[in-house]
Amino acid sequence: MIRKNKKQHRPLYREIVPAAIKGAWRHRWLWPIALVAGLVQTGGIVDAVLLSLKRIRLESVTLFDASWADSLNTIWGRIVGAQDVLEAILQAQNLVVAVTIVIATLLLSFICQGALVYGIGGSVHGKLPGFRESLHVGAINLGRVFALNVVTLGLTWLARFLLLVPLAVFSEEPSSALALASVGMAVLYILAVLSLTAIHFFSLNAIVLQGAHVTPALERAALMLRASWVTVIEIALILFGVGMLTFGLGLALFVAMWLPLFLLQLGAALMNFETLFVFANFLGSLLFFLVMLSAGAFNLSFQYRAWNLLFVRLGEGGAVAKMHRVLRGWLGIRA
194-204 per-position pLDDT tens digit: 899 999 999 99
**Would you say 115 and 37 are in contact if contact means Cβ atoms under 8 Å apart?**
yes
C-alpha 141/C-alpha 114 separation (Å) is 7
Choice between 283 and 83, residue whose per-residue pLDDT is larger: 283
Mean predicted confidence (pLDDT) in 271-283: 88
| Rounded alpha-carbon distances, angstroms, from residue 63 to 56, 58, 184, 192 | 10, 9, 20, 20
DSSP one-letter string for 81-134 = T-SSHHHHHHHHHHHHHHHHHHHHHHHHHHHHHHHHHHHHH--BTTB---HHHH
pTM above threshold 0.95: no
pLDDT score of 108 more than 80: yes
CA 114 to chain centre: 14
**What is the model's pLDDT at position 170?**
63
**Would you say 116 and 31 are in contact if contact means Cβ atoms under 8 Å apart?**
no
Q: Which of 50-59, 140-149, 322-331 has the highest mean pLDDT?
A: 140-149
Residue partners of 266: CB distance under 8 A and separation at least 6:
none
C-alpha 64/C-alpha 193 separation (Å) is 23
Residue partners of 30: CB distance under 8 A and separation at least 6:
24, 116, 119, 120, 134, 301
C-alpha 65/C-alpha 70 separation (Å) is 9
Give the domain ranges of the chain: 20-56+65-331
**What is the model's pLDDT at position 50?**
56
